[in-house]
Amino acid sequence: MATVVIGDLVGFTALAETLDPERVKQLVDRLFGRLAADVAAHGGTVDKVVGDSIVALFGAPVAHEDDPERAVRAALAMQRTVRAVAVEEDVDLRMRIGVNTGEVLVGGLVADDSWTAMGDAVNVAARLESAADPGAVLVGEQTHRATQDRITFRRRGPLTVRGRREPLDTWVALRPIGEPGSELDRRRGPVVGREVEERFLDAILDVAVARRRAHLVELIGDAGVGKRMLADAFVERARQRHDALVLEARIPPYGEASMWTPAADMLRNAVGLDIDLDDEAAMTTVVAGAMGMSPDDPEAARMASALHELMELSPDRTENVEAARAAATAAIVTLVRQLAERRPIVAVLANIQWADQAIIDLMTDVLMGLRRLPVMAVTTSRVGDPTDHVPDISAFTDAVNVSWLRLGPLEDDDARALARELLGPAATDEAVSAAVRRSGGNPLMLEEIAALADEGVRADRVEDMPLTLRGLLSARLDVLDPVERRIVEDAAMIGWTGPVDMLLAVATDRGEREAAALLEVLVDRDLFVIEGDTYRFKTDALREAAYLRLPKRERVERHRDIGRRLAHPSGGGTTLRRRAQHLATAAELAASMGPVADDLRTDAVEALDAAAEWAGQRDPAVSLVFADRAIALADDAPWTIRLHRARALAELGRIDEATAAATAIVDADPSAAVTALALVVIGQGLQSRGRLEESTRVLEEAVAAARRSEDEHALATALRMLGMTLIFRGMEQPAARAVHEAGEVHERLGDVAGMAWAEQHEAWIAFNAGDLARASLLAARAQDRFAAEGNRLGTAFTAGLLGWIDFLAGDLDGAMEKAEQALSTGLRPDTHAFGAGLAEVLLAGVHTWQGRTVSAAGHATEAIRLLHHIGHRWGEMLGHAVRARALAHLGRAAEAAAEADRGVAIADRLEDVAHGSLARIAAAGMDLHQGEPRRARSRLPAALTATPSPDIDRHLALAALQEGDTDTALVMAIRSLQPDAGPSTVVANSALAALVHARAGDVEQVTPLVDFVEAAPVASYLDRTMSRLAAALAAHRRGLPAAVRGHLDHALGAVGDAQDIPARALVTLLEAALCGSPADVAAAIEALPGAGITGDGWLHAFGITVPADTAPTDTVPAETAPDILGADVPR
């Protein structure tokens, strides 16, 4: 990035025709010599002078953070120079100037071994020059955007530029705002993370005051690191703590100011007036007043004269400089000494790296003269700029205390604190972290990024940053020695982070023998951080700036060389990815410039193929990116790459796209093995949509194709997916055979990950069969294999399965831990919606039975969203079922019933009746919680109730109890007590059996059942509540009122903080019936509909008889509960 200035004389041809040739030559030489001086004075470089035209560059070969401003100021100075020469030579001489900022390529010319700038930015600058009015400076859009706060402009209007679709907005530069390098009003953050440095500066001033000995402190650091902010905060404390007189000045980076301007600025501070230093009489009066003299005192006049002489010296003047400086030094020392006798003095001289040597000498002389006074001088200086002057202050270290304080970037915690302060309280943690990463802890960059955020602009790439920040980054690179800069470029090519060994090897191949030592230097300069055997850039923006500075062709060569250096495939997955990234980037950059070499294209596509295959089992989003890049590079990309793409789309839940991509492969039939794997993708999509019979047929075809191909990997994959579909169909034995054969094939292949997937599928079969012990053993073994392989996806999926096993075993804490592990380690919603959705369902179930019902409803809502989006009907059905129960516990009866109906409607569309029955069983349980036995029975068709099942029998027992049929309830409750049922099921059935026995009057059976539930570690709050209500009924039958009260208190304690409004209402109802008055009973019954109990089932279950006009009805009341979920659910 550079700013181009092009100037062309107007009417020069006609002028040359009327003047003597020698005079024309002298005129041109003189004019362009002065124009070149204007360019140099502002930090630019003259690219070329051709005839009556001049081309100058700002930002190349050396960059500054304010190059666009420097360029415009230089252009305005050039116009002043042209006008001055025209007057001096008495000729009609004017110039048009165009200024434009953009990417340029600076390189050598083969013809004459010179260098020049090329590119669109140069062409646009030439067009601006030709469109400018004589005597004007016309600038383009980027230049205006970068300088509009520093230069006054008048809008000129759009300009049509050949080769551009849209006209270019243009502005005429009128005059600068402020002095060069001055700080305009901008957003400033607090001083953060500099507490130690602040105490250091305060202590130095304390010593200077106490010991009356001058002290010089030089603050050193990169641009934007916060030197001036630290100095400003220090002088404010100096005023407060010591009533110090503060003298401040700054050295301008360029321009026409006198070399003595900083001294003049400090004198204005000293005397406290903004005076015209050209008025020697006024100066005499002010100096006399500051020193307590009479204006007529000859000493005051002598000092004023010396100071005035100092101000009159120009940068070009050499005569009498030493004498003038000596007189001025004596005058300044005398003046400041008088002031220092009254109060301590703190002098701050900013940007001393730009100071003329005369100022350094003056500062040295003054400090030596003040060495026995309470004076503290603070200078700020950048490091490493080849144009900077580092002051040699060692000459007076014996007389004046001297300290150097280097400031580095803020530590991460401090940078985050500053970023949060600047971005505001609404900023997300992600936004704060991104700002810190982009800035590398540089406060100025943080301030600019925050300012962009205020304007709604993101700076995710260097190209998005304002030119001031881009210039700051380029300037930081330009201050490096060439050998250091090449190390940075090597690292930038490898990546934001990478292996140190690779970086050193690349540098060594380039011929750099001291690469390790250079890297240490760059670490000391806060450009890199070394963590173990890995380097990373301190800021990723610096990496991008270094990368983008390299010409495209050089980037192509470097990426290609790095990619070919990487071993393939022995280096593992990370190496595969790096190799693919480098070779693909090389090919893509080459393609942007013209045809790609065949060998480079072939290498890139092969590397992308291997990387896409590796990523397919770990991160399908990455696999998809690699596959798409390969297809973009080669229309005839191998079918394997198109297969990777189809499989990645399927894993990402983009079923329609995956099916279309796989169908195209099947239609082409490139090979039996590839066709088989494409059929697997199609079968997987059908499975997720609940079309299980079709899925089975397609997957059986895939198995047959794989057998024909004799490709065992394809065969194992097809068998595993067929096994999963058969699991969903409830066909455990055929599923087990398919999965077992898949495992044997994977074992023959030595495919550890494949063996782990086969074991995980076998665990699913055992889980569905209710054999939790075997399921847990197989899943744990699979997880160990996945972990050994570093397969995060397999580990995450298996953690989810283990969570479901824990859930059915009643270990809610274990289930929650494993679900959260699955979501945090690999099942991201954006890449694995199916796995993430099932993990959310699991968390919803866990939180429901932990009484955290609001959270449960939120997790269920997220599960429905994810699974609905990818069309996974079975998973979506589970989400509706769990959310319905959560809403029921919240007392939102109508919403709960509607949610349950949605789950049942999806279940009815599934081909697998067994898995679809889960929604009906869950809905029936919700109905019974609301006291609706008739609705619950309607959920359970004869096909489900015909075969004994512990869960269904429990529901049938409670339905009979709520209908007043105690005998049937007792039969079903006893039948539900199957010891081989899952632990949580046994406990829930025992609690209900206790309630049925209590209601039937069989009180002797109640106590052991209640004791069993109370002792069970897997008992939920609702199990304990129901068992205590049963105990209260039994105690009431025995005539033990104290025991009744005790059991009811225990029941209320079991509900505790659980968000289960109906359960709490049931405790209140039974308490009123057993311990209260008829009025209490009536009030409790009247409260039931508001608590979400819309039926009369619990009245019958508890044996409560009330007048008909008091009992609740099946009419669901209008719900007044606020919508605390705030989530939209797909309907």
Q: CA torsion 796→797→800→804, rounded to 10°?
A: -160
- Give the best-scoring range by mean pLDDT among 76-85, 365-374, 546-555: 76-85
Residue 1128 reports pLDDT greater than 50: no
In whole angstroms, give the CA distance from residue 390 to residue 381.
8
Say yes or no to pLDDT of 411 above 80: yes
pTM above threshold 0.75: no
Say what percent of the chain tops pLDDT 70.
Answer: 85
DSSP bridge partners of 250: 350
Q: What is the mean pLDDT of residues 856-881?
A: 89
- Give tens-digit pLDDT for 418-448: 888 888 888 888 888 888 877 778 887 787 7
Instruction: Answer yes or no: are the C-beta atoms of 350 and 363 closer than 8 Å.
Output: no
CA distances from 530 to 406, 490, 965, 1092 (A): 21, 15, 75, 61
Over 70: is that where the pLDDT of 907 sits?
Answer: yes
Across all residues in the chain, what is the average pLDDT? 83
What gap in Å lies between CA 43 and CA 300, rounded to an integer? Answer: 40
**245-250/137-139 β-pairing:** unpaired
Among the listed residues 989, 890, 896, the one whose alpha carbon sits nearest the alpha carbon of residue 936: 896
Query: Residue 336 and residue 6: Cα distance in Å, rounded?
Result: 48
Contacts of residue 107, Cβ cutoff 8 Å, sequence gap at least 6: 115, 116, 118, 551
Per DSSP, helices labelled H in 162-260 are 195-211, 227-242
Q: What residues pair up with 522 in beta bridges, in sequence order?
A: none
Q: The tokens 């990487």 sit on which residue?
A: 566
Q: Return the number of other C-beta atoms located less than 10 Å from residue 187's C-beta.
A: 11
CB 811 within 8 A of CB 827: no
Distance CA 860, CA 307 (A): 81
Secondary structure element (H or E) that encloses residue 108, with its range: strand 105-108
Half-sphere exposure of 756 (CA within 13 A, CB side): 24
Q: What is the pLDDT of residues 1060-1097, one digit of tens each?
A: 999 999 999 999 999 999 999 999 999 999 999 999 99
Tracing tokens 């005058």 back to the chain, one arrives at 331
| Amino acid letter, 854 | V
Q: How far apart are CA 1008 and CA 556, in angstroms?
A: 79
Q: What is the mean pLDDT of residues 14-23?
A: 78
**Contacts of residue 697, Cβ cutoff 8 Å, sequence gap at least 6:** none
843 touches 881 (CB < 8 A) = no
How many CB atoms within 10 Å of residue 287? 29
Quote the CA–CA distance of 374 and 210 in Å, as a whole number. 8
Each residue's pLDDT tens digit, 582-618: 999 999 999 988 888 989 999 999 999 999 988 887 7
d(CA 682, CA 659): 5
Nearest residue to 249 via CA among 355, 332, 342, 334:
355
Contact between 896 and 887 (Cβ < 8 Å): yes
Q: What is the pLDDT of residue 943?
A: 62
Q: Residue 1042 corresponds to which tokens in the numbers above?
A: 């104290």
What is the mean pLDDT of the segment spanning 469-490? 78
Residue pLDDT, tens place only, 999-1020: 999 989 999 999 999 999 989 9
At position 1123, the amino acid (one-letter code) is: D
For residues 948 and 983, the answer to whether their CB atoms sit within 8 Å is no
Indicate the Cα dihedral angle 940, 941, 944, 947, nearest 10°: 110
Each residue's pLDDT tens digit, 78-137 = 999 999 998 888 888 899 999 998 877 665 544 444 556 667 788 888 889 988 999 999
User: Distance between CA 99 and CA 156 in Å, rounded?
Assistant: 14
DSSP H helices, 977-1096, are: 983-1000, 1006-1015, 1021-1038, 1041-1055, 1061-1075, 1078-1087
pLDDT band at 832 (very low <50, low <70, confident <90, very high): confident
Q: What share of the chain is helix, strand, coil (3-state, %, to 5)?
A: 65, 10, 25
What's the pLDDT score for residue 1064? 93
CA distance 799 to 783: 7
pLDDT grade, residue 1124 (50/70/90)? very low
Burial of 1006-1045, coded b for 16+ CB within 10 Å and e otherwise, reads: bbebbebbbebebbbbbbbbbbbbbbbbbbbeeeeeeebe
